Structure 1
Amino acid sequence: MSRALVMKVTAGQDGPERCNQAFTVAATAVASGVDVSLWLTGEASWFGVPGRAEEFSLPHAAPLTDLLDIVLKGGRVTVCTQCAARRELTQDDLLPGVRIAGAPTFVEEVMAPGVQALVY
């Protein structure tokens, strides 16, 4: 049985190193064949919106848009329901493949057998 990875990233432009680290770990895990679910919460919620990842820049780091593309192609990306509501984001505002879901879905994912959960 292989393990799955559920990651919650809470930082965006307000914590660029923490944000980029989370996306880097998620993309690396996907590239390694790990089942990855990336949750965008707080300021990271904005990266579910088209064009927002392209605006992010951190010296000596892989472009966030590239990392997000990797996760979207091989894993799942979710924006927190409450975080989306606070930012007035709806499903129509998000990138294709990004969903909105809440705490019940997050708890279900992290409590599944063989899951490792990380929060950045």
Structure 2
Amino acid sequence: MAEKFCVTITHCRTDGDKATLGFVVANAAQGSEKETMIFLSCDGVYCAVKGEAEKIDEGTPFAPLKELVTKFVNAGGKIWVCTPCLKKRGLTEDDLVEGATPAGGAALVEWLASGSPSVAY
């Protein structure tokens, strides 16, 4: 069984439900003692932009996105944010929440090449 897990999220402002569900699954993987990484691309980069996660609350039974992000980071989960996607939106590493790191496609490929399963939202 794989010891790593990857969740890719391409939505935040455009579909808070997909962003929320992605972080729910990532927290479940991290809680199952999988080394878990979230890769944010396209609109999904906003999940890691300061002040943006606070705007997403899909309601019961889900926790607000901000709580899910904080829980994931505090549990040791990794958040990688697509560098070109940040640049396209005029964002920099300084705009990101603590625990989020810019990363390119090569880093994602390397993670997946290790045998990590992946789901996408």
Report the TM-score, using the length of structure 2 for normalisation.
0.90
Return the alpha-carbon distance in structure 2 between the equivalents of residues 98 and 15 of structure 1.
20
**Structure 2 gap ranges (5+):** none
Matched residues in 2 for 1:57 and 1:99: separation?
A: 24
Relative to structure 2, which stretch is displaced further, 97-106 or 27-36? 27-36
Shift of 1:2: 4.8
Structure 1 unaligned residues grouped into runs of 5+ = none
In the TM superposition, residue 34 of structure 1 has moved relative to its aligned partner by 1.4
Tell me the secondary structure at the aligned position of residue 6 of structure 1. Answer: strand
Q: 2:71 — aligned with what?
A: 70
Residues in 2 aligned to 1:17 and 1:96: alpha-carbon distance in whole angstroms: 23
Deviation at 1:62, TM superposition (A): 1.1
Contact 2:19–2:47 (CA<8 Å) still a contact in 1? no
Taking structure 1 as the reference length, the TM-score comes to 0.91
Query: 1:12·1:43 contact (CA, 8 Å) conserved in 2?
Result: yes
1:104 pairs with 2:106: yes
Q: Which structure 1 residue ranges, 4+ long, deviate > 2 Å from structure 2?
A: none
Question: Hey, what's the Cα distance between the residues in 2 that align with 1:69 and 1:77?
Answer: 11
- The 1-side partners of 2:28 and 2:50 are apart by 22
- Number of aligned positions between the proteins: 119
